[in-house]
Amino acid sequence: MLAFAGIIINMNYKRILIVDDVEIDREILRNILKNDFDVMEAENGYAGLEIILSGRPHIDAVLLDISMPIINGFDILQHMKKNNVDIPVLLITAEATKENVKRAAGFSVSGFISKPFDPGFVLERIGSILKVDTGELMYSGTLTSGILSDINSYETKLKSIYINYLKNNNKSDYKCVVVSDMMKLVLREYASISEDHLDAANIEVISQAAYFYNIGKMAVPDMILSQEGIEETNKHIYQSHTNIGAAIVNLNEAPSCRYFVQVCSDMCMHHHERFDGKGFPHRLKGEECSPYTKLCRIIIDFHEIFIRKKDYNYLQFQAAIKEMGNDPGAYDPKLMAIFESCEPSIIAYYGRNEKLF
């Protein structure tokens, strides 16, 4: 054990800093986290900022309360950004409002934790960010009719919001539909040879989640999205759509929707990651990224290449695969092989749906 600024630290695991001026909230979070992480606490923004900026001891993630006197959560994020401190942050809030989501996007936060705290959700979010198995990260039970009904209800509401945004901006959701359809098609092949034991219900939920991979772009100004090449000064704004998308999806904390929310928010957050670790926002490498999100990246990139011509045949399929292969390190080789094995079904899909393109 180690004492630092009056705080007792366990030195065995990854270290989480809780910055919250409410003692009972810190106590609840500490009890949720203590079996899986080293837990540090700061009782106000000043103490938290001192620990974060000093770099001593090393912090792996921060749970940061938004509403604190004198120095609040956003003040701390501003100081972290100014000093180039790159630590994953989950914001603690009584309500993840649209205003907070938009404001947080400018600091690339990893998401929100709402009060009252759901232990499973807290462990799931932190474990997902730090790639730590807390035993709560994936829903392993049966997707009952009740759970599927709740997921479908949330998916319908989320889709309504997204489609309204797209229509109001003279955009179509056809790419979302293609990514979702293709995910279902490829997952059927993946399920037949993987150890994930995906059934039809799992495949349906994951495919539904893939539809929303780009939902975070709702908060990115059109003038940036419409640029041929994103200017260097605007890259951080463009890249923030990954964090925004995950934050939007995570506004639903219902336990019955947890599986959908986790899969969906992971796709939103990490569909720009690369197998070699050179993507964004978290530079996840290899197996650090979920197979479903890696498949999402493959499908997105393949589609962009494949629809350049309208032949939709074997030669065009092979040309697209070859072009993707010219970017070594971008894709998981095993998943690329599974994707290639779906060639006849993929070509048939494009042939049936060519009016979409």
What tens digit of pLDDT does each residue of 2-44 get? 333 333 333 345 889 999 999 999 999 998 888 778 899 999 9
Q: Which of 166, 164, 150 is nearest to 205 (CA)?
A: 150
Percent of the chain with pLDDT over 70: 90
Q: Which of 100, 292, 139 is nearest to 212 (CA)?
A: 292
Q: What is the mean pLDDT of residues 270-276?
A: 94
Outline which parts of the chain fall under CATH 3.40.50.2300. 2-130
Can you tell me the distance from the alpha carbon of 19 to that of 113, in angstroms, rounded to the nearest whole number?
13
Length of the chain: 357
Outline which parts of the chain fall under CATH 1.10.3210.10. 145-356
Confidence of residue 62 (pLDDT cuts 50, 70, 90): very high
The two three-digit tokens of residue 236, written as one number: 């951080």
> Domain 145-356: which topology?
Hypothetical protein af1432 (1.10.3210)
pLDDT higher than 80, residue 108: no
Question: Of 138-142, 164-168, 185-189, 342-346, which range is least confident?
Answer: 138-142
Exposure letters 111-129 (e unless 16+ CB within 10 A, then b):
bbbbeebbebbbbbbbbbb
Per the prediction, the chain carries an average pLDDT of: 86
Can you tell me the distance from the alpha carbon of 188 to that of 294, in angstroms, rounded to the nearest whole number?
15
pLDDT higher than 70, residue 67: yes
Contact partners, residue 182, CB within 8 Å, separation at least 6: 299, 303, 346, 349
Regarding predicted confidence, which is higher, 253 or 14? 14
Q: Please report which helix (H) or strand (E) contains residue 17, including its range.
A: strand 15-19
Can you tell me the distance from the alpha carbon of 171 to that of 275, in angstroms, rounded to the nearest whole number?
30
**Which pLDDT value is given to residue 229?**
61
pLDDT digits (tens, 9 = 90+) for 143-201: 889 999 999 999 999 999 999 999 998 999 999 999 999 999 999 999 998 877 789 99
pLDDT higher than 60, residue 137: no
Confidence of residue 300 (pLDDT cuts 50, 70, 90): very high
Supply the angle between the helices 200-210 and 145-168 in degrees, to the nearest 10: 20
Confidence of residue 293 (pLDDT cuts 50, 70, 90): very high
Confidence of residue 96 (pLDDT cuts 50, 70, 90): low
**Which pLDDT value is given to residue 141?**
54
Strand 2-4, strand 7-9: pairing: antiparallel
pLDDT digits (tens, 9 = 90+) for 222-241: 777 766 666 666 777 788 88
Helix residue ranges, H only, the chain: 23-33, 45-54, 73-82, 98-105, 119-130, 145-168, 174-193, 200-210, 222-225, 235-249, 258-270, 291-306, 314-325, 333-341, 343-352
**Which pLDDT value is given to residue 6?**
33
Whether the bond between 328 and the residue before it is cis, its omega within 30 degrees of 0, is no
* CATH number of the 2-130 domain: 3.40.50.2300
The two three-digit tokens of residue 45, written as one number: 């923004």
